[in-house]
Amino acid sequence: MATDLETALLRAFLTAAQTGSISRAAIALGHSQPALSQQLRKLERAVGQPLLHRTATGVSLTKAGEALMPYAARILALSAQALQAPRQALTGHCGVGLLEDLAAAPLPQALADFARLHPGASLELFTAPGPAMRDAFTAGRVHLALCDPSYLPETPLWTVRLPLAWASGPGIDLSLDPLPLVLFSQPCRWRAPLLDALDAAGRTWRVAFESTSLAGVTAAVRAGLGVAALLPANLDPGMAAAGLPGLPDVELGLVRRPDTQGDPLVDAVEAVLRQLV
């Protein structure tokens, strides 16, 4: 008989992968650390392969974990949407602003699934740097924005801290002095904490390449131009780089236009974002 994957186990796995730590995932889910570890082991038994590399400093995805992660995210999002679908037919339009780093993760697929479940509703996914996101939010094009909340005029309804991970391409010597970096162009509020972490560890560095887009940054890393700090979900298999100074977490927030309060469509889309991040 085929094994069904329990959503609780997938949620434990996804949260551990996103936070980079079993202890942080346990806190986020309101579980004890031993209970969460037991759920993760149960899921690994179900799929027949280890999903996480466990170290004293946290966890990272194995190749099997990287393969499972987008499916886990999609299953959880569809489960939440399926519970809502029988209750109401959603109509109208919702503009969703996403940090580009999230737009390359499972969120766009979850929003596409949502749109299929609610054919009477239309969604627009908007990605842009902070100042352009602020302009779109102020103009009413974006109703919900999940990004660096410091750029937007409203206080975030909720925030989440996500880890960054070092990424490198083939042939990069991580002991190079100075270390070649691939960075997002300004404005980028992640640059200063990243450079501060290197300075604090006594590593000299140089900017080898900059880009305004995630696609440009990842292409430069694949080409071996340098190392970059990315969200774990955006690392290609084999791209993780070990042995570099620890990176700080980054904070994202969900900001919502006040005139959308009580809008069932915007409420439902916010629930999808909360479920996945």
CB-CB contact of 169 with 274 (8 Å): no
Total Cβ atoms within 10 A of residue 189: 14
Assess contact for 51 and 69: CB atoms under 8 A.
no
What would the 3-class secondary structure string for the chain be?
Answer: CCCCCCHHHHHHHHHHHHHCCHHHHHHHHCCCHHHHHHHHHHHHHHHCCCCEEEECCEEEECHHHHHHHHHHHHHHHHHHHHHHHHHCCCCEEEEEEECHHHHCCCHHHHHHHHHHHCCCEEEEEECCCHHHHHHHHHHCCCCEEEECHHHCCCCCCEEEEECCEEECCCCCCCCCCCEEEEEECCCCCCHHHHHHHHHHCCCCEEEEEEECCHHHHHHHHHCCCCEEEECHHHCCCCCECCCCCCCCCEEEEEEECHHHCCCHHHHHHHHHHHHHC
Q: What percent of the chain has pLDDT over 90?
A: 34
- The pLDDT, as a whole number, for residue 144 is 94
The per-residue pLDDT for 199 is: 94
Confidence class for position 143, pLDDT limits 50, 70, 90 = very high
Higher pLDDT, 113 or 143: 143
- Which band of pLDDT confidence, cut at 50, 70 and 90, is reported for residue 105? low
Domains of the chain and any CATH numbers: 7-81 (1.10.10.10), 90-158+252-276 (3.40.190.10), 165-248 (3.40.190.10)
Mean local confidence (pLDDT), 55-84: 80
pLDDT band at 27 (very low <50, low <70, confident <90, very high): confident
Looking at the predicted structure, is the pLDDT value of residue 94 above 60?
Answer: yes
The per-residue pLDDT for range 41-69, each reduced to its tens digit, is 999 998 888 999 888 778 888 888 888 88
Residue 120 has a CB neighbour count (10 Å cut-off) of 9
Say if residue 219's pLDDT is above 90.
Answer: yes
Contact 238, 121 (CB under 8 A): no
List pLDDT tens digits, range 238-260.
788 888 998 888 888 999 999 99
**What global pTM score does this model have?**
0.67
Please, are residues 144 and 94 in contact by the beta-carbon 8 Å criterion? Answer: yes
How far is 90 from 1, CA to CA, in rounded Å?
37
Per the CB < 8 A criterion, the answer to whether 96 and 269 are in contact is yes
Amino acid at 65: G
Given a contact cutoff of 8 angstroms between Cβ atoms, the answer to whether 138 and 103 are in contact is no
